[in-house]
Amino acid sequence: MSNVRNVFAEVGIPEEQINARLEEIKQQFFFGEDSFYHESGDMAYLEDTGNYDARTEGMSYGMMICVQLGMKEEFDKIWKWAKTNMYLEEGKNEGYFAWSCKPDGTKNAYGAAPDGEEFFIMALLFASHRFGDGEGIYNYSAEAKKILEAVLHKGENGREGKPMFNRDNKLVLFVAGSDYSDPSYHLPHFYELWAEWGNEKDKEFWKDAAKISREYLIKACHPVTGFSSEYAEFDGSPMNRPLDWAKERHNWFFSDSYRTVANIGLDYLWFGKDEGQCVAAKNIQRALLEDMRNDSYHIYEIDGTVAEETARHPVAITATVAQSVLASDLDDIAVEWVKKFFDTPLRTGDRRYYDNCLYMFAYLALSGNYRIW
């Protein structure tokens, strides 16, 4: 399967307009008035503008965006900030990255979130191939393999802590050692590449994890709406158990969930393997069609029942559903989503961080610029 496809061109948007828009949003994202990318000397961080912190989610996203755009200088600055301020050198999470830090680099927590580690690994491996390995922390492939070792083998051979993947069922966990998952953390297209480029001893595990992850997504995405819950049990059902630390519920189609169908789209673009998970793309395009046409998204239960009137991240929804088109037919509804997204500007205001990160991924994917390096 080709890992390059310009869907914008397929729906009739001129190439020069597509390229001009990419350059425009790149400038806005990194250097514009509403940018949340902040440089300080030879380091840089991406700020979660809703929570006023830097998260491994956003830092690793920034690195992936930079490697896709060929922005080595910015990539290195983000990576140095992450390795300097977020990396955990001792304790049960040694080898992982603190999921949240203050803008001055002070750690807000000493726990780690697997989606950050997943994107760090993949971005570093791509950087190794696109930019070439350097010295120290800029030996990208060596750094990626160290994180790969940790996420799978923590707790072995006397090493403190727990892995981020369940070694028995081969599912990514919500946090290391937890007994549930997050459907939007499932990145089978990454695991396929880790099997090829990662630590040789784990090749078969990652090949199996990719297939199992796709099968998990079939169960996690509702068979009518395509919606997935934020957190889910190992059988894919919404995680309805109370969590002592959680202030909000996580068993509905809400912020984390929006990424799931975007990931399905990119996975299908890169590898063309459909275990049945791709049906979610077509379902979600239809389930949210009227919301899209009305420029007003609701918050939903995964069966499509309206839970609240106004979604927190409307631009993220438009972007991720448009990206899901990569895993579906380009019918009239899919074309409508792609054109709607192309005409949607980057978000401004406090919540712009999450929306605009997912916007960048969708634009890269739909313009043929989110590729295997």
Domain ranges in the chain? 1-33+172-373, 38-164
For residue 246, count other CB atoms closer than 10 A to its CB: 12
pLDDT above 70 for 50? yes
Average pLDDT over residues 151-171: 95
Q: Which residues of 291-306 are buried (b: 16+ CB within 10 A; e: fewer)?
A: bbeeeebbebbbebee
Helix (H) or strand (E) holding 53: strand 53-55
Percent of the chain with pLDDT over 70: 99
Which residue in 115, 256, 291, 355 is the catalytic one? 256
275 as an active site residue: the answer is no
pTM of the model: 0.97
- SS3 (DSSP) at 6: strand
**7 near 366, Cβ under 8 Å?**
yes
pLDDT tier, 2 (very low <50, low <70, confident <90, very high otherwise) = low
Which residue in 48, 57, 192, 202 is the catalytic one? 57
Average pLDDT over residues 46-59: 97
Q: Do domains 1-33+172-373 and 38-164 have the same CATH topology?
A: yes
Q: What is the DSSP string of 72-109?
A: HHHHHHHHHHHHHHTB--SSTTTTSB-SEE-TTS-BS-
267 as an active site residue: the answer is no
pLDDT tier, 3 (very low <50, low <70, confident <90, very high otherwise) = confident
CATH class (in words) of the domain with range 1-33+172-373: mainly alpha
Q: Please report the pLDDT score of residue 1 as a whole number.
A: 43
pLDDT above 90 for 237? yes
Match domain 38-164 to its CATH number in 1.50.10.10, 1.10.357.10, 3.40.50.300, 3.20.20.70: 1.50.10.10
pLDDT tier, 52 (very low <50, low <70, confident <90, very high otherwise) = very high
Distances from the Cα of 163 to the Cαs of 33, 72, 160, in angstroms?
A: 40, 30, 10
pLDDT tens digits for range 53-110: 999 999 999 999 999 999 999 999 999 999 999 999 999 999 999 999 999 999 999 9
Residue with tokens 């880790």: 194
